[in-house]
Structure 1
């Protein structure tokens, strides 16, 4: 069975020259240690650093040598409770710190920059271990806002260098469960008669309630709901939240594997009651009227599980009420959309009565069967069935995809899956909110890599990027400028391809500070190329739609990810040349890559 190498760091007794003292960090470590003992027993090899022991050098050494001893299939867990700090970023750090700030943990003798810590944890992960960091400290913020709570924030001292070293290109190999957003304090206070970090207290409770099979994603959702119900204003964060990665593994391993497909939505009991992390930004109709007829089905097997009905849809969430069952308030449930009052797409079927009946039975909630195009609204498909093959056609008769077999019930489900996939892709591409105060605050700019010249749309509204005379694909720089003088805004940039794929790989979701700029791929060049299945011959082309979604809070990005419908078309997501809310708005920029 997999081993667990755990490093628990708690600092209450800070020197006056470093930071103000705290009162709950040692208690956090004691509870985390007890949790590991109860759930992992002899599998857990725990090292603890408290107060004066927790120097920058000691923490660094313990990460490399204690956590670094975790091998293939093992778990390496860092749990830090103490102060965090920040300072203004400069130079090259601005390419990867879109907030305009560098962050660091505050050890007993000074700062450990987050970029340096991330590089250390990725070195541990390179050995094959599942690496997770739980950080209960401020990543930014200021004075305490609530009399009963103390902010775990230390102002930077003269001489502190928080810049760290920039990590090598490619995605992070570790998973972070953080107590708060980059622009928020995290707090400690009295819980059950003892001082604790609000996040640590909530996360440990969520782990004990959910059991060992719960993933980091589910635990973070449960902990965030507990923090809200406790009255704290901080918002815990999971990073990176890529589906099928470390976020979808159990926190303590124990034989759990990455789930094949991350479930799109989670049901939890928040401060305002039961809610699902799906809202208008994911394609639902906003408001109480938009919620009518919308429902989600719980996917976990178990007695008494059922359906929740939508009450009101906001930008990022839907308030719901359980129908004929009572969910446990301490649990988090994976759910999927099961009904909408007005499906966004319709389909007519030209085939035998058996074909029509088979497809009607297989359709999901996003597509409704109609008798003729006169009943269609918005996106409409025509399915023509001949000789055991189904062709999915547009209104003008052209094909969306190559023909699909339709000879058995499983084939009907495949055709229905295709219609659902195409509907989801079009929903993302055409996603448009109501007028918002955020409209126009973030500018999406594409520049030539060689000259830095901004690219402008042509008469058709597309940005055309031709291959070079030497046959090389074009390179560009993609930048997101926050023009607001006072708003920190959360942005995600989706790449929607003409192979019906969608991915936020360019800018996966991050806050951009007022007056600052976020860079796709952390400032590395973005290569625009044809998919491997399309030879780069004169006249060949590929289309992308860059969809910028801007909000005043984080959004659930899992529904923004779609694989290409046909693997044969070749996966084409704009990629690197090197290595790998209450209010919201969108910007869409069509891009055409052309071989002259």
Structure 2
């Protein structure tokens, strides 16, 4: 039985569908395509039949209709019509490519583009539509509504193609446009290099959902459907997943099966960026509880690999619960597959052993895992509690509350401690063993005093655990070269290398611009996660920027992170006139969930 249509509430649902199979100036370097029109007609039908869109609010531009002028006018018209609370879906199927960047915002010097029907004309009057233009159009839409969904089933990398079967079949990628593009409009954009998501199209933006056919260095394939006809692989399997989705399914839920279907057939990883936990075509978020994916199942050894390691607080001996893919609430046993025991912990992944009576093949890839029982071991922060006379009641409250944390342990009398909690009439202070303040004291009259102190101590514990993660026996120990440079000026992509001071520290003044460059000096592709551990005990994920992002770093390739306004902190913590930030690099041979 086909699932019923999903109930829609509030606002008008509008869509723009663009497909170009036939190009006016087609030739060896701009071949015609097949399947793009199928993509958009099938998607429009699905949106109207199941998701509350109406044909009167849908615009289709196909082949000769999809000129540069027509696409621009249709997008601007859609923006003008859109009101607060509306839902907007925009779909493009056709060639993707590149052209020379004239704004200075692309690290590789090339803009990503989509190709209208009349582009690449001999008179050099019509050019591709660049990602810079599209970003401005998207920003204008987001000023009207925050429920915007984009689907681009094409690819644009200089090394990628969209292909079907044999190499002689046309692909959904055109060679970069060799012509000099029109000059940038005065004041149109900043010249700063912009950090893009894994698809390579846009900067990170949690106010929209963007889906792309593949990474910016992969092939985007066309799929021959069993029922006949060609479609983009992403579009075809996305529609299948949307058609069978539950009424409360999120974009993350839907895309999980899309990724599995496409990646199992092609060397292609569809990308989704932005508001992943938003229910399909709704403004409200789903309240997804935190979890980690099962990334590998070793049936022979009864092991599962999860995307959580020491950086996430995982410990050998801890118990985890495994749930079906797409599970969002983990307090219902009916959704639980089984439990497992952590037997080996790496930096950002762990191995867990399944019970003897559980079939390993019953645990699918992308199953979701949560920690059930933590084995604290010796990793807990040792906390000494002391109080001034008259503060016994507050002390007793802390003695009752803190042992409930799996990250903390109250010390016995005379035992060494990692942190001291001093209870005074005016405030509660957290103190290093040498007597220095760890952070600003907590006012004695603060609400939820015990939980506030506990959360601060847990932040210290997690900070120290992550800081001390090491894997000296890894074959990737020397794979990454890391260099810090003082920018010649804010926004610069190079500068003078910072020389370590005595003790190995690199010193910069507050708000002084600098950049961090890391290069793969190994022989194989690696995946890098960078964490910043700041002096206020916070841990930030600097790279990759997006949750679902696993960008590969090929041998000899580099990536730079810029700090145009200096350090991560806007001001130094508490009363210090200097502070130390730490950067922690995790280098793996396979993509894995990041620690933050």
| Length-normalised TM-score, structure 1 | 0.71
- Report the Cα offset of residue 381 of structure 1: 4.5
Correspondent of 2:578 among 512, 519, 541: 541
Aligned match for 1:369, one of 384, 400, 409: 409
- Once the two structures are superposed, residues 85-111 of structure 1 have per-residue CA deviations (whole angstroms, 9 ceiling, x without a partner) of 346x67864x6335x654323333343
Aligned equivalent of 2:64: 52
The residue aligned with 1:305 is 335
Answering whether residue 491 of structure 2 is matched by residue 441 of structure 1, we say no
Q: 325-334 or 420-429, which moves further after superposition? A: 325-334
Partner in structure 2 of residue 421 of structure 1: 459
Partner of 1:458: 501
Structure ID, larger Rg = 2
Structure 2 residue aligned with 1:520? 561
Q: In structure 1, what is the equivalent of residue 224 of structure 2?
A: 190
1:200 aligns with 2:230: no
Provide Cα deviations, 1:288-316, integer angstroms capped at 9, x if missing partner. xx765341476615461346436776776
Aligned CA distance change for structure 1 residues 530 and 26 (closer, same or farther; 3 Å): closer
What's the secondary structure of 1:465's corresponding residue?
A: coil
- Once the two structures are superposed, the pairs formed by residues 36-435 of structure 1 within 5 Å of their partners are 36-42=47-53, 45-86=57-98, 93=104, 96-97=106-107, 102-110=111-119, 111-140=128-157, 141-142=159-160, 147=165, 152-156=171-175, 159=178, 167-168=189-190, 173=205, 174-194=208-228, 195-228=230-263, 230-239=264-273, 241=274, 246-253=275-282, 255-257=283-285, 263-267=289-293, 278-280=307-309, 282-283=311-312, 293-296=318-321, 300=329, 302=332, 304-306=334-336, 308-309=339-340, 336-341=370-375, 344-348=379-383, 350=385, 355-360=398-403, 362-364=404-406, 367=407, 369=409, 372=412, 380-383=418-421, 391-396=429-434, 398-404=436-442, 411-434=449-472, 435=474
Q: Deviations over 1:458-508 (max 9, x none)?
A: 112222223xxxxxx553231425354986665554433211223345873
Shift of 1:183: 0.9
Asked if structure 1 preserves the Cα contact closer than 8 Å seen for 2:47 and 2:53, the reply is no
TM, length-normalised to structure 2: 0.71
C-alpha deviation, 1:69, in angstroms: 2.7
In 2, the alpha carbon distance for the partners of 1:421 and 1:209 equals: 42
Counterpart check, 1:480 vs 2:509: no
- State the partner residue of 2:46: 35
Count of aligned positions: 528
The CA RMSD measured in Å over matched residues stands at: 4.7
CA shift for structure 1 position 123: 2.3
Helix, strand or coil at the partner of 1:464: coil
Contact (CA 8 Å) 1:8, 1:78: kept in 2 or not? Answer: yes
Distance 1:142 1:512 in 2: 16
Question: CA shift at 1:252, angstroms?
Answer: 0.7
Which residue does 2:538 correspond to in 1?
Answer: 501
- Whether the 8 Å contact between 1:177 and 1:238 is mirrored in structure 2 is yes
Instruction: Quote the Cα distance in structure 2 between the aligned partners of 1:372 and 1:162.
Output: 72
The answer to whether the Cα contact below 8 Å between 1:70 and 1:127 also exists between their aligned partners in 2 is yes
For residue 11 of structure 1, what is the aligned residue in structure 2? 20
Secondary structure of the corresponding residue to residue 418 of structure 1: helix
User: Over residues 67-99 of structure 1, what are the superposed CA-to-partner deviations in whole Å (9 max), with x where a residue is unaligned?
Assistant: 453222322222222332346x67864x6335x
Q: SS in structure 2 opposite 1:543?
A: coil
**TM-superposed deviation, 1:133:** 1.5
Q: 1:428 to 1:77 in 2, by over 3 A?
A: farther
Whole-Å Cα distance in 2 between the matches of residues 489 and 92 of structure 1?
Answer: 30
Q: 1:532 to 1:313 in 2, by over 3 A?
A: closer
1:182-234 deviation per Cα after TM superposition (whole angstroms, max 9, x unaligned): 11112122344343322223333343444354443444344323333x33221
Structure with the higher fraction of residues in strand conformation:
1
Cα separation, 1, equivalents of 2:111 and 2:297: 31
State the Cα distance separating 1:122 from its structure 2 match. 1.9
Rounded Cα–Cα distance in structure 1 between residues aligned with 2:232 and 2:333:
35
Distance 2:583 2:74 in 1: 43
SS at match of 1:235: coil
